[in-house]
Structure 1
Amino acid sequence: MAEKPPLPPKAPAAAARPAPAPAPATGARPAPPFKKPPLAQPPPQVVLPLKPPPARQYLHHQHPPPPGGARKQPARYRQQQQHRRGGGCSCRRACCLAAGFALLALCLALAAACLAYLYYRPRPPSFHLQPLAPVRLRLDGNASAAPALDTTVGARAVSWNPNARVAFRYGGGEGRVALADADGDVALGWAPVAGFEHAPRSVAAVAFVAAARGVVVDEAVAARVRDRYRRRQQGFRVVVDTRVGVRVGPLRTGMVPPSSSCAIPP
C-alpha cells in the first residue's frame, strides 16, 4: 500500500484571514471610508438688555417716516403730531391777527390825530407882563446889623388865546417875585394865584401882590439896589407856577404843571 504524503504545515493565525479580493477591473471607485458625524454644538446664548427703553421715549425720539414710506406709524404718534402741528398754526395765526389789529388801530389813531390837527390847528397862548405896580422897597441897615429889605410888589400878566375852537383851563398856583442882580436873584416873596378858564379868542389877566419882610442881603447888593431903585433901573423877575388843561368842545384833557417866567429889564 502506498504511503500517504505528508500534510502541509499550518499557517499562522494572521495568515489564516483570507486576503481581500482584488478590485474588479471594471473601473469602479472603491467606497470611501466611514467618517463620524461632527458633534452638535449648543446654540449661542442670547443676552437680553437689563431694562428695555420705554415705549413713550421711543415714540418721542423716533423720526417721522419719509413720505410714501412703507412703514406705518402708530395711531397715537400720528395724533400727537397732528395736535402739535395744529397748535403751532393756531398760535401763529392768533399772533398775526393781533399784530394786524394793533397796526390798524395805530394807523387809525394817527389819521384821526392828523385830521384833528388840521381841523382845529391848536396854538399856544401868549403872555405879556405888565409894569409892576405898586412897588415899594425899603432898605434898613446900620453898622451893627446886615441890611434888610421890606418889599411889596404887585404883578399883572395878560394872556391871549388865538384859537377859535380850543379853550384852556388854569388851576390854582402861586406867583413869585425876585430882584434881578448880577450875583443872583433875591427873592422878594410869593402870593397865591386863583384858577380861571381861558375861552377861545379872548383875553385873560392874572394878578397877584407879593410881600416880604426882613429879607437879608449883602452890603454890596444893598448898595446896588439902592442906587438902581433911585434911578429907576432896577430889574425884576416874575415866575408863575400853575396847572393848565385843554378843552375841545365836550372833551377835556388832564392838567399838566407848566411854569411861566417873565423878566422886566431895568
Structure 2
Amino acid sequence: MATAHHDADVYFVPHHSKWPFVGSISLFVLMIGLINWFNGSDTSFWIFMAGIAMMIYTLFGWFGDVIRESEGGNYNGQVDISFRQGMIWFIFSEVMFFAAFFGALFYVRTFALPWISGDGHGSLANEFLWNGYVAGWPANGPEAIGGAFETLPAFGLPLINTVILLTSGLTLTIAHHAMVVGQRSKVLTWLGATILLGFCFFGVQAYEYIHAWGDLNLRISSGIYGATFYMLTGFHGLHVFLGTVMLLVVWFRVLKGHFTPEKHFGFEAVAWYWHFVDVVWLGLFLFVYVL
C-alpha cells in the first residue's frame, strides 16, 4: 500500500496490487468448475465452490485495501469523482444486463410466438416447425414442453415482495438522511431495518420458488415462460442478495466509526445500487407477474 498523500492536488495511485491477478485466477477456476458441472462432471461442483471461495477472498481483500486507503486519508476530491464515475458506469452496465433480458421477453411475446403460430393466418414457420401451434402466454411450447404448469398470482407473494422492497428503499433513504446530518445511531437503526427487509425479500422469493417448483410444476424446463421467469427473477434475486451483503458491510463500517456527513460515498454507492434493484423489481412485477 502506498504512503498516504494529504496533498489535495495529488491523485492517489496505489502500489502494484496482487488482487487483479488473484481475481482473474478465481474467475477462471469458478468458470471451469461451473462449465464442467453443467456437463455432468462429478468433481466440478467442488471446483466451482473453490472458485466461489477464492472470489470471496479476493473481494474482501481488495475492498479491504480500498477501505484502509480511504480511512488513511489517501483519497482527495479527484479520487472521489473517479469512484462516482466508476459506480455510474457499473450501474449502467447493470441496466444493460437487465435490458437484454427484458428485451428477450418482449421479443418472444411480441414477435417470436405470433410468427411461429402464424398469428391465425398460417405461416411457413407454423407449417414446418410446429404445425398447428397456436401462440399464447404463458407459453410452454408445442405438446406442453415440460408439462402443464400454473403461474404465480401477481397479487400474492410477488406483491408482498414488492411492498418489502419499496419499504426498504424508504428505510435506506431515511438512513442516508441521518448520515448527512450526522445522526450515527439513527443510521444504524434504519440501515439495519433495510438489511432485515433485504433478507426478508430473499426468504420470500426462496419460498416462492419452492412453491412454484414443487406445487405448480413451474420449472426452468417449462417452455419459454419457465426459462424467462427463472432467468429474470433469479438474477434479480441474486442482485438483492449481493446488495444486502453490501449493506451489511456498510453497517459494520458505520459501527466502527467510518464515514462522515461530508464524506460517505461508500454508503452512497450501495444506496444507488439498492435503488436500482428496486426499480428493476417494479419492471419485473409488471411485465413478468401482472401482464
| Shorter-chain TM-score range | under 0.3
Q: Higher strand proportion, which one? A: 1
TM-score scaled by structure 2?
0.19
Normalized against structure 1, the TM-score is what?
0.20
> Which structure shows the bigger proportion of residues in helix conformation?
2
